Structure formats: structure tokens, C-alpha cells
Amino acid sequence: MEQSTAAGRPRALAAAPVAAAFRITADERPDAVALRTQGGASEWTWREVRERVDALAAGLARLGVRRGDAVALLLSNRPEFHVADLAAMTLGATPFSIYTTSAPEQIRFVLEDAAARVLVAEAALLGGALAARDGLDGLEHVVVVDGDRPPAGCTRLDDVLAAADPEFDPDGSLARIAPDDVVTLIYTSGTTGPPKGVQLTHRNVMAAVATVTELIPMPADGRVISWLPAAHVAERVAHHYLPIAYGLQVTCCPDPRQVVAVLPEVRPSWFFAVPRIWEKLKAGLEAMIAARPDAERAAMQAALDASLRRVRLRQAGEPVPPELEAAWAHADAAIFAPLRAQLGFDRAESVNVGAAPTPVEVLEFFHAIGIPVAELWGMSETTGAGCVNPPGRIRIGTVGPPEPGVEVRLAEDGELLVRGAVVMAGYRNRPDRTADAIDADGWLHTGDIASIDDDGYVRIVDRKKEIIINAAGKNMSPANIEATLKAASPLIGQAAVIGDGRPFITALIVLDSDFAPAWAAQRGIAAADLAELAEQPDVVDAVALAVERANAKLSRVEQIRRFHVVRGDWLPGGVELTPTMKLRRRPILERYAEEIAAMYAD
């Protein structure tokens, strides 16, 4: 059954609270599969999800959860997350997610800051939560969604359902929710200090999901993969709120390292990933081509080269010679179309990348094989919405024009300012920081330095506070240098450049945990782990060649003069990376002070 629409818009978009949009979709698509696990072992229809949501909402009501209360979720990508979030939302409460990689003190901070009354968690993640619970008088209940014997002081989900309030009226509860009630909190990653709780309202969320109707045609049987952390705004909007409004089927992938393997199973209508996923996929495809027999490899490389020329001509607005167009059409039918089907991108309406700069070479590669990866830009503070390259009108190197309903302009210093219904209500318990972020005219100061071309396409230059000013007073973008460096070789997994107040640029380089061991094994290099590989002369020499290739694409002042290959890996949620893989620059400078000093010793 297809959704009813008005002027091409799903009827659920007319709802004010998100929970009301869910009920409209569930009414219209009762027998369609809403949630499924990887492999399809478990599948819940929209009717079944609604029944589970209402039952859990009644159970939470018996625990004392009321409108405006905060409910914390410490769950991986599993169907219970969607049910728990919607159940709390049905009560008018504010469900929010905690990164599963958080340390006990980090969990404690967000529980206390949000004033959470209930925590819903899975058994495998309870350790940090229980350690954080000590002394938190406001946290009254810990509900465990799996396992038969929860620890002392915790309650099984089944017991909450069994004790549900029989008088609970979900429709009456929904009627009390106002559009400006806070629907969730998104805690920023805290690259420069404790995280701030971004307060998003029902109005924010519905405005954000409404922008999609004018950009991406969502089919009635649309599918997405839930694989990013639910504490990140991209996951919540793309794989939770959008499916609620558009009736999309969600496949839960609890291990993000398996997302590429899940793609052929799901064949998503829309897929979003951070740049590192695309970089690794490109490296894998290039390795696959290199491993083919000579004749086949030569044919595939020639087809790829021809397609890349076509992409670059089209991006430059120049005509494509008929013979090149014909060569591309043949290569697309014979090589690239089967490859897209093998990867799981043969039914994608739109494919996007965001959250960090993406090397142009990576974008060109996927455009060449017929997967037009488009950069977009958004923030937690803008409900994940902002700018996006529209399908068919992608300009590589930009994040596209502003989405419908979003205004952008530049401040005098080049900072990107955003205004619209998607802009947050403010930071939790931080009116001072809210006043700093949103001016009297409603413009959100994003902290990103940008440029805007004559057609309204936005190009992000760098973070305002992360621009490097070297000892000679030259301004540089570390993100641009790092992206160029990572694009120079699949051996490089992460890079952090240093140079603020210094005479030249240096770099800390982390080997790619997947590619580097395989590369070393092919060359007979025996090493147990990344720490040992980092000290192998052949590995260091290969990294040095990559640095040379990167330097050839950088201006003289941006070029990397010295580098250090880090022993070991940098993991999301660790000292060096946030859970969303942004660099924690200050902790990196502190942790590697000795190595950095050595690079500037002369």
C-alpha cells in the first residue's frame, strides 16, 4: 500500500509532533515491513511496531515517565532502539542516545546534564552505565532490553511491559505534545571540552525531513540501513525520523564494519556514509582491479580512465566528445552497471557523504563508476539539514546549495551563517553558549569558514577555530591538507597535520588497519600489528611516497616537510577521535608532544 500524498508529499509530513507522523505512517502501511535485522532473521511490520511502541509507552508511564522527562538510550543499531525512542516520544518525553563507546564518566555527564529519569540499555553495554549510575539520584530506573537476568537494580524490558499502565491513552498523550517540545538531545562530540546538549524540537525534525521531498524521490518501498551511532544527528534523521515520515524500511546493522557487506542485501534507496567509508571502498575496488588478469585489468583501467575524463569534462561544463560518450556508455553497460549491482547501489536514488571533507579524487572515482556520491553539510545544531548537492546537479568540491527552507549567508570573516526552522532551540542548560551561537536575528554561527558561488553552491573551507596560521602568518586549512594526504594512498588511515605558529607543516600519520596488514603480507613483511608495521622501513618508505604525491597537489606553504608514522591505531571514541571520527586536535597535540617536538627539533 502506497502512502497518501498531498502535492507529492507524504501525509505524515503534515503532522506536528514526530510521534503523530509515526502513527499516520503505521495506519497507512500496517503490513509493510518497518524494521528488520541484518539477514532478515527478525522483521516487524508497521502495525507490530506500533503495538510494541504503545505497550512500552504504557510501561514507561507506569514507571513515572511524563511529558518533558528525559529518557536515555544506550543501544546499538537494533529494532528496540526505534521502539524505545518512539515510546518515550509518545509520552511527550525526550529520548536521547549515548554513544556506545562512552567511558563511565562521559555517560555520567550526559545522564546528569539531561536529568535522565530512565535509562534503556542492552546487557553488553551495562558496565559503563552502572559505573556511571553511582550517586545519580535522578536516574530512577535502568531497563535492560535483552538477557534473562539483569544485574541488581535493573529491570527487564519484559517486566516493564507486563506492568504497563492499562489506563494509558497514547492518543491523549500525543494531544498534549507541542511542536516546540524537545524531541531529542544530540550531545556534541566534545572536541574542545565537555559535550553540549543540542535541543531539537518536533518542529525542527519535521522541517528537516520535509526538505527531502524536493530533493530525493523516495519510492514507496524505500529502504535504508541503520548503522551509524544513534547518538549522531545523521543516524537519527536519516535512519529514524526519515523512515517515520516516509514509511521507509530500516535494516539494522549493529556492527558498522559490516555495512559494506550489508549493502547488496538491502540495496538501499538512500545511503549516507562518512568519507572514510568511501575512501576504504575505493581502495578495495582499486585493489580488486589490480588483482585481475592482465587483459581484464587493462580493459577495466582503460574504461575507468575514459569515464574519469568524462566526469571532469562534465564538471567543468565542457562538451563530451561523441567518441568518449560512446566509450563510456559501453563501459557502463559492460563493467560499471554489474559492479554497481554487486556493491548494492543499483537501486539508489541518492548517495551522500558528509561530516568531514572528502577528497575530490574519491568523489570523481565513484562518479566514474556510476555512483554519483554527493557531498552534503549539516550540523547537530541544524537538525542535520543545511546544504546538499541535488541529484543530477552535483558540483564536486561543494556541499551544494541550501536545502529548501534553509537560508545561508557569510559573515564578514567568511563564517557560514544559517537560519531556518531547522535551527535548534538551544543548548541544554547553557543559555550563554546558546546566545553565542544564535544571534538576535536568528542566524546560527556555524564555526565553518565557507564560500558561496553565484549559483548558491556552498564550499566549506575549514573550521573557524582550526585554521592553521604558521610562523610567517600564512593561513591554511588542516582539513584540506589531511584529506589530500589520505587520498594519496590507501595505506594512510588517519592523518593530523601540525603547523600553527610553526615554521613548516608536519604530520602524524596512522596506518589503515585493514589495508596496511594486507599490503605488508603481499610483500612478505612479517609484522604482528600496526605498531610493528609503523617501524618497518618499507612501510615508512611507502608512506613517504604518498606524502610526496600529496605535496605535489598542495601549495608550497601547505606541503608536509616531515612526518611521523604513529604506532598503533586511532579508534572512534578514543583519545584522538570523537565517536564520529573527527580529530580531537588538542588531545593529539598533548599525547604526541614528544613526537611533534622531534619533527621540529632542527
Mean pLDDT by 10 residues, the chain (602 residues): 47 87 95 95 96 96 95 97 97 95 87 96 92 87 91 92 89 94 88 80 95 81 93 93 95 92 94 87 88 89 94 95 94 94 93 85 95 94 94 93 95 94 96 94 94 95 78 76 89 92 92 89 84 92 94 86 94 83 87 93 80
Helix count and strand count (H, E) for the chain: 23, 27
Three-state SS string over 370-418 comes to CCCCEEEEECHHHCCCEEECCCCCCCCCCCECECCCEEEEECCCCEEEE
Query: 44 has which bridge partners?
Result: 35
Domain at 275-346+348-464: CATH architecture: 3-Layer(aba) Sandwich (3.40)
Closest CA to 472 of 548, 558, 553, 550: 558
What pLDDT score does 356 carry? 75
Query: Residues 6 or more apart from 75 whose CB is under 8 A from it?
Result: 81, 84, 97, 100, 120, 121, 122, 125, 145, 230
- Enter the pTM of the model: 0.84
Are 373 and 396 within 8 A, CB to CB?
no
Cell 564550499 sits on residue: 459
* The predicted structure's pLDDT at residue 4: 39
Residue 8 has a pLDDT of 55
pLDDT at residue 477, as a whole number: 79
Domain spans, the chain: 5-269, 275-346+348-464, 467-599
- Domain 467-599 in the same topology as domain 275-346+348-464: no
Per CATH, the homologous superfamily of domain 5-269 is ANL, N-terminal domain (3.40.50.12780)
pLDDT at 110: 94
Q: What is the spatial distance between Cα 437 and Cα 439, in angstroms, rounded to a whole number?
A: 7
Looking at residue 544, what is its pLDDT?
96
DSSP 8-class letter at 304? H
Helix (H) or strand (E) holding 19: helix 18-28
pLDDT of residue 483: 86
Q: What is the CATH number of domain 467-599?
A: 3.30.300.30
pLDDT value at residue 71: 98
